[in-house]
Structure 1
Amino acid sequence: MLDAATVQSLMRADHGDPFAVLGLHGPVDGAWTLRALLPGAWRVWARDSDGAVLAQLQRIPHSDVFEASLSGPQERFAYRWRVDWGTHESELEDPYRFPPLLGELDLWLLAEGTHQRPFQALGAHPATVDGIEGVRFAVWAPNARRVSVVGEINQWDGRRHPMRLRREAGVWELFIPGVAPGALYKFELLGADGQVTLRADPYAFAAELRPGTASRVAALPPARPMAAERAAANAFDAPVSIYEVHLGSWRRNDGWRWLTYRELAEQLVPYARELGFTHLELLPVHEHPFDGSWGYQPTGLYAPTSRFGTPEDFKAFIDAAHAAGLGVILDWVPGHFPTDAFALARFDGTHLYEHADPREGFHPDWNTLVYNFGRAEVRNFLTGNALYWLERFEVDGLRVDAVASMLYRDYSRAEGQWLPNRQGGRENLEAVDFLRRMNHVVGTERPGAVTIAEESTSWPGVSRPPAPQGLQGLGFHYKWNMGWMHDTLGYLSRDPAYRPWHHDQLRFGFMYAWSENYVLPLSHDEVVHGKRSLIGRMPGDDWQRFANLRAGYGWMWAHPGKKLLFMGGEFAQEREWNHEASLDWHLLEHGPNVERHRGVQRLVRDLNAVYRHFGALHRLDVDPAGFEWIRHDDQAHAVFAFQRRDAQGGVVVAVANFTPVVRHGWRIGVPRAGAWRELINTDLAVYGGSGVANGPRHAEPVPCDGHAQSIVIDIAPLATLLWAPVE
């Protein structure tokens, strides 16, 4: 019989090695011992696979531990418990009769931090063991004194299913028979600090809808290869026009209810396709407890949020997007995580995922915790997560949030509130190593997928391969061009009368336009927190405001770099974005500016169509050979002209007039003889403009702007014009 101290340790749920005492043990002198911990049981029998009683277990006094000794075969044998609960009887498989689950290779790679797919080993996985169906649970908590699976399966009682510790990797595991997909669960940990906490599974594939915080058992989605056409759509020479969306506020049923993933597949996907976008970018869909975080403070990095449906529903949404020819980019947050007590903070009673020193581990901007990128298991958790979304949901790319906050130890920190790196500098060398490794794994394991950095500083080589030495080369495919965004919006926000003195705001971006592979973002960050909407920033009366915005869109689509526009911008939403409400779709139906709102929407559609059709506008986006100034020094009239071209001989000329004055009879140099035609004129009446347009023009042998040929055109007020040779 067990000694009293061990029995009481089991009853207190602080025994760290339940497999040493529970289940089947022996044989010793030809006898086997059977033990079970079954709180609330009256009587317990062990029965064989045919239902025959092997033994009745006896209660150890003052406990819910039952024990029996019996003679049996020399080899281990299968058995089940028959339990009398006082009101009814049931038969149970004993979790403590099953062998260790994780193999030596998995444990080795997990301990080393090189398991490229740790989600295959950790988390909750429906499985069949020894012919018995159930779920195998595994969690990394190396410093915990005891870990139990709790949930609907055991009345959330941590005494009933304590786990086995695989010390070589710090992983706890347990197979629980009879658990089915959909079951809610958590891990109950007795931490190194002596505190008992309930934790959501860091590797959970599904989660409970807030305000609940439990994980939900779900099968690991199957991996599928990336289709060739999807990889081609992400290429540097492809047209990439991204519609950025917050799923919870794009449109709401009855004005208040979120659309489900499947409803979004039916409504959002065809809408974006009709407007000619090539990709959808989703604000983070990782599970998060607070709607107001927009997903940027995730607590379930492996779980699509349950707000809009199940993981299967989310996969159906992505499949629908792909069927419509749209790629899906997912915002991804590996830089920080919230302090919620049910999540990763002090997970096993120690600073496991985060730095212990707040000068490294606490982020003052967002009151969040910073991942310890120097810990191999943490890097593995995050790198595996990137691969998980790309392989298992066929996401086409990841836009990595707040990269600048990861790269600098002094980001948003005053003197004395940060620690220098091992070389005495401000760079976060461990974060650099993590980003390089993550991008290398994505590039080798998921060729064709892309990673995009939201990086707001001048860190060199963000979208370049890692350099052999030094800090350059992070390995991203693209980088958001925050400088272009800031300068362009700053220029457009000025009264046209003052623009001649700020000509360099638009010219400067071309000085560094090919230092990285850029995406030009007009993102959600530019229409919140008092910044006003895009149309709300434009100066002048209603006519000028809409004309300015249309001219800005024409400039953006002509400019080298991939495009990104946040939802609502495509029809000039007047108010700031509000995550708690639908976009103002009524602006397209009625109101004093309905035709102007419709005109902006039509312009975006036409810009996307021209952008996709004319290779000169996208094929050499990342190559300076695809661009040449025609006129950049006309400050007095705020007029710009440049050409875009491709290696196949295609050319498009862009002309922009950022004053409200019509420029009649202006001669512009062009690179080719013959007839030219307007592809886009943002001042057309169908877009809500004044209708100053041009018919076809024939180039004349009159030198202008450094070209032997030129055309004479009327440049509409506050407008961007795109011209191409008539083929």
Structure 2
Amino acid sequence: MVTKKTSTKKASEKKTSARITKAKEPAHIGLVKNDSYLAPYEDAIRGRHEHALWKMNQLTQDGKLSLSEFANGYNYYGLHRTKDGWVFREWAPNATEIFLIGDFNDWKEQEAYQCQRLEGTGNWELILPEDALQHGQYYKMRVHWQGGEGERIPAWAQRVVQDDATKIFSAQVWAPKKPFVWKKKTFKPQTSPLLIYECHIGMAQDEEKVGTYNEFREKVLPRIIKDGYNAIQIMAIQEHPYYGSFGYHVSSFFAASSRFGTPEDLKALIDEAHKNGVAVIMDIVHSHAVKNEVEGLGNLAGDPNQYFYPGERHEHPAWDSLCFDYGKDEVLHFLLSNCKYWLEEYHFDGFRFDGVTSMLYYSHGLGEAFCNYADYFNGHQDDNAICYLTLANCLIHEVNKNAVTIAEEVSGMPGLAAKFKDGGYGFDYRMAMNIPDYWIKTIKELPDESWKPSSIFWEIKNRRSDEKTISYCESHDQALVGDKTIIFRLVDADMYWHFRKGDETEMVHRGIALHKMIRLATLAAINGGYLNFMGNEFGHPEWIDFPREGNGWSYKYARRQWNLVDNKELCYHFLGDFDQRMLEVVKSEKKFNETPVQEIWHNDGDQILAFSRGELIFVFNFSPTRSFYDYGFLVPEGSYNVVLNTDATEYGGNGFADDTVEHFTNADPLYEKDHKGWLKLYIPARSAVVLRKK
């Protein structure tokens, strides 16, 4: 199929393309085979699938090119050193004149730096001798159009920097004499399971400042490796004018943010991660773009619709940003090339696509309830965006068959993380955004004695059978000002005054206990991956508030206080130590993802839940007051040892149970033929235990 093409096998690709157009369709497309409730919408599913195939054939000239070859725009556009000098190209169909200006010509228009329009196209080109530019110099375009002119940063610029004094952004000539040499040239992510540490380079340091790629590599990456995560998901890589946007208002899509260091610094970070078995996933923003005209694409050459939808669809009503026109081939070329660029140039292992819900619907998902399947096929969907996302996944997996793609999507659009050949959009995973919403709602609205294990179990494993998910309790969203992390909702102000060992209040004990149980339950029930935002694993006490006028441009809350978890006199290390051991236990079960979640028992009255995965048994007692002696579960006969207990003193618990005891099942004549017996346990209130069959 298309998803398995490679750019080195053109003959095979032509045959594949021919099969695509001539092959007889199966009786039912895969999505409908897997979910009969989708049968009424099979025509729409087929229509979207065929539209993507048609567009793919169009872009690849009916298979003469591979999709990967089509997405080589970053090698053509922008500024590049050649064997004879330099070449600069830009797509600007509405421009009448373009000059390259910079500190090499006193920022003045000069004939020697005037671009020429390539006949019959919207492309402009400038060829310069070797001595015309030097590494490190700053430049921009001076663009003229009918009725106006302005300075612009090239859309395909691969290095953009901000002047410390003036705060003005400029592109920068970047051609170091010694190119970066990768020590780890090939890498395959570990995905069984995928354990993601979501992070932000700038706010990853203890100091009140903007951290760097090098500081992250030296100080934070070793923590992540030690904790046991096998992937990092880095936010805010693409250059963005406003630091406080968290990287979601992108201006230069091909430029790694210079706030954090040089391109070589970022490559060194990724190389070091790969050497230690850690995949690096990029948080990519293709759902919208910053409105800025000087720094961004908002009005590159006098046409505000060059990259973006016209009319009412031009601006995002909630994000104060611009919406890409996914129906334009040039925009598809720009965005698909952007995907390939980050894979090839920086060796990223894949992407978490931000704001997918906003892309899928004309309404951006705002005010929509999404109550039934009809809401996904009612004509309110942007077929252009659906086509782009499908093509992006095909391309990414063509460039790197081991790449990981994740969709941040809240509506529940079926097929998003299903295989392309089955009529899906081809993502490897979708974010399980229902889970953090459920935990927050439960903590906010229900007293502890009303927590129902049946509801918990349903929510943490509620997903489509043919789509993998990334489960999480909380991400960066729950850590921002205006929201609260789980630990803050559980402990509140006592975080500040009673988190020293020996001084804990009942609220602190409760918070520590439930924080561990919530994480363990969520991780134990995954069917793909698990995500944690940096610092949340040890209950970081502060929200995130980037420097802004309202806080006096302070960095106090735009950092991570690692000193708290390092201080053994405080309770934070209990949570951090537990998180590390929890990941160890899950990774110790071979093929954890492929092992089904099997319910053993739940009782909402007792607030007890038990389920198994392979040789592991997970038992939870959510009751705040009731402990149970000899609570019995029917399990495969044999002996079981405790491998993790949230109530252990080393994790801040009471240590009520003796975890050195080996537990043997008791025979029952009724279940002997099934080789099952009764496992009887002491389960303290508000605790969870994991046992392994010996």
Task: Say whether the fold is shared (TM-score over 0.5).
Answer: yes
Pick one of 118, 124, 129 that aligns with 2:79.
Answer: 124
* Distance of aligned partners of 1:698 and 1:401 in 2 relative to their CA distance in 1, 3 Å threshold: same
Q: Distance in 2 between matches of 1:626 and 1:413?
A: 35
Task: State the one-letter code of the partner of 1:721.
Answer: V
Q: Distance in 1 between matches of 2:219 and 2:404?
A: 26
State the match for 1:442 in structure 2: 396
State the match for 2:577 in structure 1: 602
SS in 1 for 2:259: helix
State the match for 2:70 in structure 1: 115
State the match for 1:627 in structure 2: 597
Structure 2: segments with no counterpart, 5+ residues: 1-59, 369-376, 492-505, 547-554
**Are positions 1:188 and 2:145 aligned together?**
no
**Percent sequence identity over aligned pairs:** 26
Task: State the one-letter code of the partner of 1:359.
Answer: E
The 5 A counterparts of 1:109-258 are 115-129=70-84, 134-160=85-111, 161-177=113-129, 178=131, 179-191=133-145, 193-209=146-162, 211-219=167-175, 230-233=187-190, 235=191, 238-252=192-206, 255-258=207-210
State the match for 1:697 in structure 2: 663
Kept in 2, the 8 Å contact 1:554–1:721? The answer is no
Kept in 1, the 8 Å contact 2:460–2:521? The answer is no
SS in 2 for 1:172: strand
Q: Distance in 1 between matches of 2:169 and 2:83?
A: 27
The 5 A counterparts of 1:212-361 are 212-219=168-175, 230-233=187-190, 235=191, 238-252=192-206, 255-342=207-294, 343-361=296-314
Give how far 1:500 is off: 4.3
Note the alpha carbon deviations across 1:505-526, whole angstroms, 9 max, x for none. Answer: 4424434263520001321001
The 5 A counterparts of 1:26-37 are none
Pick one of 286, 305, 323 that aligns with 1:370.
Answer: 323
Q: Distance in 2 between matches of 1:247 and 1:532?
A: 21
Q: Distance in 2 between matches of 1:351 and 1:467?
A: 37
Task: Choose 296-305 or 702-711, whichever is displaced more.
Answer: 702-711
Kept in 2, the 8 Å contact 1:492–1:548? The answer is no
SS in 1 for 2:666: coil
Note the alpha carbon deviations across 1:344-363, whole angstroms, 9 max, x for none. Answer: 01222113444453421210
Kept in 1, the 8 Å contact 2:516–2:575? The answer is yes
Q: Distance in 2 between matches of 1:704 and 1:205?
A: 67
Give how far 1:446 is off: 1.2
Task: State the one-letter code of the partner of 1:117.
Answer: N
Give how far 1:708 is off: 2.2
SS in 2 for 1:214: strand
**Are positions 1:582 and 2:549 aligned together?**
no
Kept in 1, the 8 Å contact 2:453–2:608? The answer is no
Equivalenced residue count is: 587
The structure carrying a bigger helix percent of its residues is 2
Note the alpha carbon deviations across 1:386-415, whole angstroms, 9 max, x for none. Answer: 111111111111000010000001125579
Structure 1: segments with no counterpart, 5+ residues: 1-104, 416-422, 646-650
Compute the RMSD of aligned alpha carbons: 2.9
State the match for 1:83 in structure 2: none
SS in 1 for 2:388: helix
Pick one of 673, 680, 689 that aligns with 1:712.
Answer: 680
Give how far 1:443 is off: 1.1
State the match for 2:512 in structure 1: 546
Q: Distance in 2 between matches of 1:479 and 1:720?
A: 28
Task: State the one-letter code of the partner of 2:413.
Answer: W
State the match for 2:26 in structure 1: none
Pick one of 521, 539, 553 that aligns with 1:572.
Answer: 539
Q: Distance in 2 between matches of 1:508 and 1:582?
A: 32
State the match for 2:332 in structure 1: 379
Q: Distance in 2 between matches of 1:567 and 1:460?
A: 30
Task: State the one-letter code of the partner of 1:155.
Answer: D
Q: Distance in 2 between matches of 1:709 and 1:545?
A: 35
State the match for 2:47 in structure 1: none
TM-score, scaled relative to structure 1: 0.76
SS in 1 for 2:628: strand
Q: Distance in 2 between matches of 1:665 and 1:225?
A: 56
Give how far 1:225 is off: 12
Pick one of 460, 465, 476 that aligns with 1:524.
Answer: 476
Task: State the one-letter code of the partner of 2:533.
Answer: F
SS in 2 for 1:128: coil
The 5 A counterparts of 1:9-48 are none
Q: Distance in 2 between matches of 1:324 and 1:508?
A: 34
Task: State the one-letter code of the partner of 2:90.
Answer: V
Note the alpha carbon deviations across 1:182-237, whole angstroms, 9 max, x for none. Answer: 2211111112x421111111111111125221111224978989966x3251x4xx
Q: Distance in 1 between matches of 2:635 and 2:140?
A: 67
SS in 1 for 2:140: strand
Kept in 2, the 8 Å contact 1:500–1:636? The answer is no
Kept in 2, the 8 Å contact 1:136–1:173? The answer is yes
* Distance of aligned partners of 1:146 and 1:323 in 2 relative to their CA distance in 1, 3 Å threshold: same
Task: State the one-letter code of the partner of 1:603.
Answer: F
Note the alpha carbon deviations across 1:681-722, whole angstroms, 9 max, x for none. Answer: 111100111112332201222368998222111113222211
Task: State the one-letter code of the partner of 1:371.
Answer: F
Q: Distance in 2 between matches of 1:245 and 1:639?
A: 34
Kept in 2, the 8 Å contact 1:409–1:426? The answer is yes
Q: Distance in 2 between matches of 1:725 and 1:424?
A: 50
State the match for 1:653 in structure 2: 617
Q: Distance in 2 between matches of 1:671 and 1:391?
A: 49
SS in 1 for 2:188: helix
Give how far 1:166 is off: 1.2
Kept in 2, the 8 Å contact 1:346–1:353? The answer is yes
Note the alpha carbon deviations across 1:419-438, whole angstroms, 9 max, x for none. Answer: xxxx9811000000000111
The structure carrying a bigger strand percent of its residues is 1
Give how far 1:136 is off: 1.1
Kept in 1, the 8 Å contact 2:350–2:403? The answer is yes
* Distance of aligned partners of 1:285 and 1:558 in 2 relative to their CA distance in 1, 3 Å threshold: same
Kept in 2, the 8 Å contact 1:244–1:566? The answer is yes
The 5 A counterparts of 1:6-85 are none
Structure possessing the higher relative contact order (Cα contacts under 8 Å, 6 or more residues apart)? 2
Note the alpha carbon deviations across 1:124-151, whole angstroms, 9 max, x for none. Answer: 111222xxxx321111101211111111
Task: Choose 145-154 or 697-706, whichever is displaced more.
Answer: 697-706
